A and B are shown apart, each in its own frame.
Chain A
Amino acid sequence: MNRFMLPLLAAVVMLASSCVSVKVPDGYARMSYTAQYDVKAVSTDGNIFTMREITNQDEKNGSLDYWATAMKNQFTLSRGYEFVQDGDFKSGKGPGRWQHYTHKFKGLEYVYIVGIVVDDDEIYVMEAGGEKDRFKNQEASVRKSFETLK
């Protein structure tokens, strides 16, 4: 019995250490079907909040600054997003950077906020967005949710 306990315990510890959680913004309800995301939630007026872990090998080689800049370049130089502003935040997984964009999608103006946290092993990306009129005044609440990542 003792021969199996140690590996079993190690497996449990490993699973526990890779668990990540985030508190969704007020007014959002989690969805059971999350598609490509680890967490997905939607508000009553159709805004979306998500979180996902990026676990590819190469991601371990970049710093927070590197990935935040890469993300900004990809959005603005390749995808036509309009950069608005950015800032830093602290989370349970370490320091993070948030970025605020606007983007025209299907003829409508959208607001898009993305937060990225980089630790030794993983990259955590949290996103939130909605039509400009419906996403009004939600930026602060979304950034607060980013800080709850742990």
Chain B
Amino acid sequence: MRGFPLLIPLLALISGCGMSAYDSSSQYYKGATEHAVASSADADEYFAGGLERRLEAKPAPAAERAAPNRPSDKAENPVAGENAQAFARKIVYTARFVVDVFDIEKSREEIVAWTESLGGYMHSQRAGTVVLKVPAEKFPEVLTQLRKAGRVNDDLTDIRAQDITQEFYDLELRLKTRKEYLASLSELLKQAGKLEEKLAVQREVANVLADIEQMEGKLRVMVHMVAFATVTVEFRPAYKGPTRTFKLPWDWLDRLGVEYLFN
């Protein structure tokens, strides 16, 4: 019973820390879109309560969850039908564009303002290059917006979609397993009699808590990566003159200039 004073704060820690992690996450993900989370749950629900509900549901095997519409060899397919909506694909979009503009600073300010108006933000900026985090559902509009700013070099455009569905749901499942284990450890701690037993359980609890925090952190990052597309825009100065559509019919005029002096 000498260990009893230790037990109270420990139990408080076990019961409180999980919720606080969810609360801080829900604040962080305010504005995250449906695209980023399963079914119709928004980010707040996902981390404040939705996750708990979803983790209680019987999960499908990882392969099923990654491709819910694919026929399975297994006799049972409990999830693909009823929870297919809950296991939406998790796609991370990244893109790089090179745009020729007449006013780099103005163009950069305008694209940042446009991104912020959609709920995104500027991630970083260096010289004429800006990295934006654009809400994923607005990603298809980025190219349209950049074409308004200047000439997009299509041969330098790079758009990628990375499917992290399997990794995401595997991590969720591992997190659920660890939380269940944590719950069983707390029960064990209540039943532990000897001090050595209690200390051993407490050590294990600390390890499991560390695992859970790490996994939750990784999951937060993945949710964010899916919620916001990373768009890198490099603005370059456009050729100020018009294209050579103006030409007088006097050939000698075209043979003047530094190009001929220094040829």
- Hey, which bits of chain A sit against chain B, CB under 8 A? 36, 48, 50, 54, 56, 58-59, 70-71, 73-82, 103, 105, 110, 112, 114, 125, 127, 129
User: Which of B239, B253, B258 has a CB less than 8 Å from the CB of A129?
Assistant: B258
Query: Binary interface profile of B, 217-253, with partner A (CB < 8 Å = 1, else 0)?
Result: 0000000000000000000000111101111101011
User: Which of A70, A82, A112 has a CB less than 8 Å from the CB of B253?
Assistant: A70
- Given A56-B252, A58-B250, A70-B250, are A77 and B260 neighbors across the interface (CB < 8 Å)? no
Chain A CB within 10 Å — which of B239, B254, B262 has the most?
B262
CB proximity of B225 to chain A, nearest CB, Å: 39
Main secondary structure of the interface of A (DSSP, over half): mixed
Cβ A105 vs Cβ B248 within 8 A: no
Cβ B258 vs Cβ A103 within 8 A: yes
CB proximity of A52 to chain B, nearest CB, Å: 8
Q: A77 to B254, alpha carbons, bound, how many Å?
A: 12
Please report which residues of chain B, range 125-148, place their CB below 8 angstroms from some CB of chain A when the two chains form the complex.
Answer: none
Q: Which chain A residue has the least Cβ–Cβ distance from B254?
A: A74
Cβ A54 vs Cβ B259 within 8 A: no
User: Which of B252, B257, B261, B262 has a CB less than 8 Å from the CB of A79?
Assistant: B257
Cβ B261 vs Cβ A71 within 8 A: no
Q: A40 to B259, alpha carbons, bound, how many Å?
A: 15
Q: A114 to B246, alpha carbons, bound, how many Å?
A: 20
CB proximity of A19 to chain B, nearest CB, Å: 20
Cβ A48 vs Cβ B261 within 8 A: yes
11 more contacts with CB within 8 A, not counting A70-B250, A77-B246, A79-B257, are A36-B255, A50-B261, A70-B253, A75-B256, A78-B245, A78-B246, A80-B239, A105-B262, A110-B258, A125-B256, A129-B261
Cβ A71 vs Cβ B256 within 8 A: yes
Residues on B with C-beta less than 8 A from A103 are 257-258
- Given A48-B262, A54-B252, A105-B262, are A81 and B257 neighbors across the interface (CB < 8 Å)? yes
